[in-house]
Structure 1
């Protein structure tokens, strides 16, 4: 079962794995979310990019010029990933299994499995050690 709380926005082409929990106010514009993930309050995943070299930044204008909101490069998030509140995951980023993304982080590059990342832009600050319970 997937649990999506109030005031979330989920795009049309989003895949979410079983056991994933999406907290209040999160925005998942596009991408694939693995199984058993926790998405924090007001996190943004796959948010649209805006042109920085155009004269006008209004979507009304630049949508006519170029398709900057192209969703052909969605983020991919592995299983058992924890994404902190207010974190931003940019388009095209691949986040490996077991990653922890700190609150408020801006993830602009791929993250290897079981890394802990935080900051703007997000950088590795640690590594998860997984203990097998038998």
Structure 2
């Protein structure tokens, strides 16, 4: 029997983990609003797509663009704040941290912030994700 070993490159692993964190945050925001009566159908109508698209994306069966993440945030009444900050430690990976050229200044610890105030903060490795619901009057 033939056996194959497939490796995941460090950059793909980092991208996959980032997408998973964003997806979990979006699911938590949706679940919080679902308790208030927001449905996949109402989200689909607000952003102009079929309900099945929203279902596939919220259930993780279809990738979505950053623009679509922004549309979901808008519909769910959330604000997104996103930062790229230098990574300080490899975190929960088996791969070495990326090499940063000496000419590049590295500062604060790594942090990704999706800013919002529903009680949906979680930490993943060296990342912090928070979601805050916006007042529609102030949005």
Q: Above 0.5 in TM-score?
A: no
Larger Rg: 2
Give the structure-2-normalised TM-score. Answer: 0.24
Q: Which has the higher contact order (CA 8 A, sep 6+)?
A: 2
TM-score (norm 1): 0.24
* Higher relative strand content: 1
More helix by share: 2
